[in-house]
Amino acid sequence: MRPYDVLFEQALTRVDAERIHHAAFRAIRTAAPLTSRAVRVPAAPVRALGLTFPHPLGLAAGFDKNAVGIDGLAALGFGHVEVGTVTGEAQPGNPRPRLFRLTDDRAIVNRMGFNNNGAEVVARRLAAWRAGGGSTVLGVNIGKTKVVPEDEAARDYEKSAGLLAPYADYLVVNVSSPNTPGLRDLQAVEKLEPILAAVRRRADEVRFDDRVPLLVKIAPDLGDDDVLAVADLALATGLDGIIATNTTVSRDGLATPASRVEEVGAGGLSGRPLTQRSEDVVRLLRDRVGPDLTLVGVGGITTVDDARRRLAAGADLLQGYTAFVYEGPLWPRRIVRGLATDG
C-alpha cells in the first residue's frame, strides 16, 4: 500500500471532504516552488484546438474554481488546467455539507452549485497571472448564475465570455452540471444553440486578433440520440470540441450501501462508476463527428489502461479529478509515464 493510500484511508476520510479539499489545495499552492523543479516525465506533445499540449492529461474543472493555483497544479504533472466553473456573478453555492466520498466505489458526490468568486474577480486574477508569465495551457469553464432565469442564460454566459476569453487558451460552456436548477435543460439543441452563438460572438469581439477555441461539456445522462444531436450541432455551428462527460445523477450499480447513498443525497457522481458510460459517449461522438473535432474524455479515468481505452475510443485529450483525489499528487505523473511507454 502506498503512503498516500494509508494517509487517505486512516486520516483524510475522517474529515469533511470540502475541508480536506481546501487544505490539500493550500498545500499544493505552497509546494509549487518545489514541485515545479521536479524532473519532467518524457511525453509526446498533443496538437489539438490549434494548441500544443505537453501531453494528453489535464485537470478537469471543479478543482480550481477561482483560478488561484494554476501553476501549483501544473507542477504536479497536469499538461493543462481547466479552471471554473465560473459564473457571471459571484455566488456562494449550495449549503454545506455538499461534497461526499463514496470510498467503496472510488467515487465522489458533489452538489457544490457553482460556488465561485464570479467572472469579474477571476478575470482580474487571470490577467495578473498572464502578466506574471503564466504559460500553462489554460481552459476556462463558464456556467449559468443560479438566479439568472433560463430565458436570460445566453446573456449571462456572454458576460462571462467577454471577461474571461482574453485570458483563456480555450473556453468551455458548461450546461451539464446537475446542481444548478434547470441547467441541464440547456443541453437541448434548441436552447444550446443561441448560448453557443452568443458566447462565440462575444469571445470574437474581445479576441479580435485571434480566435479562442470553444467547447461544450455534456452529461453522461444524455440518451444516445441526444448525444448525437449535440454532435451534429457542434459540426453545424463550427464548435471546436466537446468535453465528455460531466457527473451523473445515476446511482445504479454502486457498491456503496444503499443507506449511505441515501444519506449523501442529491448531487453529481464522479469517479469509477462513470468509466464505461463516459467511454461509450466518446466513442459515439467520434463516430459521428469524424476525425477533426477535438474530444476531451473525462469521467472514471483512474488507471493507465483507462486512459489508453479513452484515447482508443476517440479522445484527443483526457481530464481527471476524482482519481486525483483518491490516488494522490503523484497520480498525474503515473498516468503520463504509463502513456509515454506506448509511444
Confidence bin at 293 (pLDDT 50/70/90): very high
Query: How much is the pLDDT for 32?
Result: 86
Query: How much is the pLDDT for 185?
Result: 72
How do residues 155-199 score in pLDDT, each as one tens digit? 999 999 999 999 999 999 998 777 677 667 776 778 889 999 999
Please identify which of the residues 160, 177, 270, 278 carries the catalytic annotation: 177
Query: How much is the pLDDT for 311?
Result: 98
Alpha carbon of 107 to those of 101, 270, 301: distances in Å?
6, 5, 11
Query: How much is the pLDDT for 121?
Result: 98
Query: How much is the pLDDT for 12?
Result: 64
* Number of neighbours of residue 37 by Cβ within 10 angstroms: 8
**Residue 290, marked binder:** no
Range of the domain at 61: 3-38+46-340
Query: How much is the pLDDT for 34?
Result: 85
CATH at residue 260 = 3.20.20.70
Mean pLDDT confidence for 206-234: 93
Mean pLDDT (the chain, rounded):
93
Residue 296 has pLDDT above 90, yes or no: yes
Find the range with the poorest average confidence among 83-92, 135-144, 228-237.
228-237
Let me know if 177 is a catalytic residue: yes
**Percentage of the chain modeled with pLDDT above 70:** 94
**Residue 246, marked binder:** yes
Query: How much is the pLDDT for 37?
Result: 78
How do residues 3-25 score in pLDDT, each as one tens digit? 766 666 655 667 789 999 999 99
Range 162-166, long-range pairs (CB < 8 A, 24+ positions) = 162/202, 162/203, 162/205, 162/206, 163/119, 163/120, 163/122, 163/123, 164/86, 164/119, 164/122, 164/123, 164/126, 164/140, 165/140, 165/202, 165/203, 165/206, 165/207, 165/212, 166/123, 166/127, 166/206, 166/207
Alpha carbon of 3 to those of 89, 104, 137, 313, 329: distances in Å?
41, 19, 30, 33, 11
Q: 339 and 43 in contact (C-beta within 8 Å)?
A: yes
How do residues 241-275 score in pLDDT, each as one tens digit? 999 999 999 999 999 999 999 999 999 999 999 99
Query: How much is the pLDDT for 8?
Result: 63
**Residue 61, marked binder:** yes
Query: How much is the pLDDT for 35?
Result: 86
**Residue 191, marked binder:** no
For residues 231 and 285, what is the distance between their CA atoms, to the nearest angstrom? 6
Query: How much is the pLDDT for 7?
Result: 64
Query: How much is the pLDDT for 191?
Result: 85
For residues 244 and 310, what is the distance between their CA atoms, to the nearest angstrom? 11
**Residue 62, marked binder:** yes
**Residue 162, marked binder:** no
**Residue 30, marked binder:** no
Mean pLDDT confidence for 101-119: 97
**Residue 217, marked binder:** yes
Find the range with the poorest average confidence among 166-180, 306-320, 323-337.
166-180
Count of domains for the chain: 1
Mean pLDDT confidence for 133-147: 96
How do residues 39-75 score in pLDDT, each as one tens digit? 687 889 999 999 999 999 999 999 999 999 999 999 9
**Percentage of the chain modeled with pLDDT above 90:** 83
* pTM of the predicted model as reported, rounded to 2 decimal places: 0.95
Confidence bin at 1 (pLDDT 50/70/90): low
